[in-house]
């Protein structure tokens, strides 16, 4: 059996960080290979933006653009520069060898001198069938209030937030700018959030908290119309009308295939050099939501994708791999035109 081809750079992922890294790497003549992943439940090639109907805050688009359309345009731009794409997951990685060895879902293992991990993070869902269906069809269920809450669809409606941590508090406060009322649904009788955040929420005139309550069903066909709720103490059920549901019970970084080979934060996000994208393993970089538990925005992911590609290019050039950047000298600089 012939030995696997050794790639200069492999990018794992297909969200804003991955496609931005691919564009920069391709323009630097690194001939990157992208593993864009496969559809697994609500995890789709393209990342979390594939569940976003309209994006109004990505620079360069005066009119709203859907999440899938934005991801398709990023991918098309990468393909224009010759980026090669494999629609498979990377299910295993051996970072203890050089070159790094990556094993995809079906194909032969791939070796790489440098790797950018941009696998993102997945939202934690309640797990209800209609919740997931409406989340994937743009029917008023979301896991990101900052991404979706300002859309006309949600304005002046009763909106529900599920959760009790700081993220849920932040989402609820953000939604008060647009909603007629915000319901926070929490299964306990107190928040896990910091006292300062919880106090701000509880004082807000537009916020109402439903304590000791869990969501047992999401109602609506084409779009959400309400929720079926159950009291966690008595089991008694009731229904409430809402025009939107925001699930804020956390995210989990998509790093399982690494099997603990890279350092992570207590929340599971990859640790990189401060202000950079390099991990502790030479030649392995990380970008996007897989390193970010704070901003989680498309534009910040794209920015770290750019950073990772530049760092990977410099790493490869330093090791004599790939095409080194041209440095102008007196001999190579273009002539001055008077």
The catalytic residue among 43, 54, 147, 306 is: 147
Query: Tell me, what's the pLDDT at 301?
Result: 96
Angle between helices 166-175 and 195-203 (to 10 degrees): 30
User: How far is the C-alpha of 331 from the C-alpha of 319, rounded, in Å?
Assistant: 25
Is pLDDT of 330 > 60?
no
Domain 125-247 belongs in CATH node 3.50.50.60:
yes
* Second-level CATH architecture of 6-122+251-318: 3-Layer(bba) Sandwich (3.50)
User: How far is the C-alpha of 139 from the C-alpha of 220, rounded, in Å?
Assistant: 8
Query: Tell me, what's the pLDDT at 2?
Result: 64
User: How far is the C-alpha of 36 from the C-alpha of 17, rounded, in Å?
Assistant: 12
154-177 pLDDT tens trace: 999 999 999 999 889 999 999 999
Q: Which residues pair with 241 in a beta bridge?
A: 226
The catalytic residue among 148, 289, 292, 306 is: 148
Q: Which residues contact 35 (CB under 8 A, 6 or more apart)?
A: 10, 11, 12, 13, 86, 88, 89, 90, 102, 104
Is pLDDT of 337 > 50?
no
144 is an active site residue: yes
Query: Tell me, what's the pLDDT at 42?
Result: 65
What are the residue ranges of CATH 3.50.50.60 in the chain? 6-122+251-318, 125-247
6-59 pLDDT tens trace: 999 999 999 999 999 999 999 999 999 999 998 776 677 888 888 776 788 899
Is pLDDT of 310 > 80?
yes
Query: Tell me, what's the pLDDT at 293?
Result: 86
User: How far is the C-alpha of 57 from the C-alpha of 298, rounded, in Å?
Assistant: 9
148 is an active site residue: yes
Query: Tell me, what's the pLDDT at 138?
Result: 85
189 is an active site residue: no
The catalytic residue among 144, 289, 292, 306 is: 144
């Amino acid at each position: 059996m012939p030995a696997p081809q050794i790639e200069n750079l492999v990018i794992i992922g297909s969200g804003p960080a991955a496609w931005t890294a691919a564009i920069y790497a391709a323009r630097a003549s690194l001939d990157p290979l992208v593993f864009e992943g496969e559809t697994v439940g609500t995890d789709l090639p393209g990342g979390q933006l594939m569940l976003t109907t309209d994006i109004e805050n990505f620079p360069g688009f005066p009119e709203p653009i859907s999440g899938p359309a934005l991801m398709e345009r990023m991918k098309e731009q990468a393909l224009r520069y010759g980026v090669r794409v494999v629609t498979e997951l990377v299910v295993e990685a051996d970072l203890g060898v050089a070159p790094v060895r990556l094993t995809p879902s079906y194909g032969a293992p791939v070796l790489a001198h440098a790797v950018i991990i941009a696998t993102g993070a997945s939202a934690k869902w309640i797990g209800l069938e209609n919740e997931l269906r409406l989340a994937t069809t743009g029917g008023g269920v979301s896991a990101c209030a900052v991404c979706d809450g300002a859309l006309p669809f949600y304005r002046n409606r009763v909106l529900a937030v599920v959760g009790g941590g700081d993220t849920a508090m932040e989402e609820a406060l953000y939604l008060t700018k647009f909603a007629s009322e915000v319901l926070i649904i929490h299964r306990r009788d107190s928040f896990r959030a910091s006292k300062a955040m919880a106090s701000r929420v509880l004082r807000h005139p537009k916020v109402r908290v439903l304590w000791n309550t869990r969501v047992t069903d999401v109602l609506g066909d084409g779009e959400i119309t309400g929720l079926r709720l159950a009291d966690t103490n008595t089991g008694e059920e009731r229904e409430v009308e809402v025009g939107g549901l925001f699930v804020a019970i956390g995210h989990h970084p998509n790093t399982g295939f690494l099997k603990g080979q890279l350092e992570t934060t207590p929340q599971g996000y990859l640790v990189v050099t401060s202000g950079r994208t390099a991990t502790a393993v030479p030649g392995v970089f990380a970008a996007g939501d897989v390193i970010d538990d704070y901003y989680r925005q498309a534009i910040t992911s794209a920015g770290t994708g750019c950073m990772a590609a530049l760092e990977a290019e410099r790493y490869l050039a330093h090791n004599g791999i790939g095409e080194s950047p041209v440095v102008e000298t007196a001999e190579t600089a273009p002539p001055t035109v008077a």
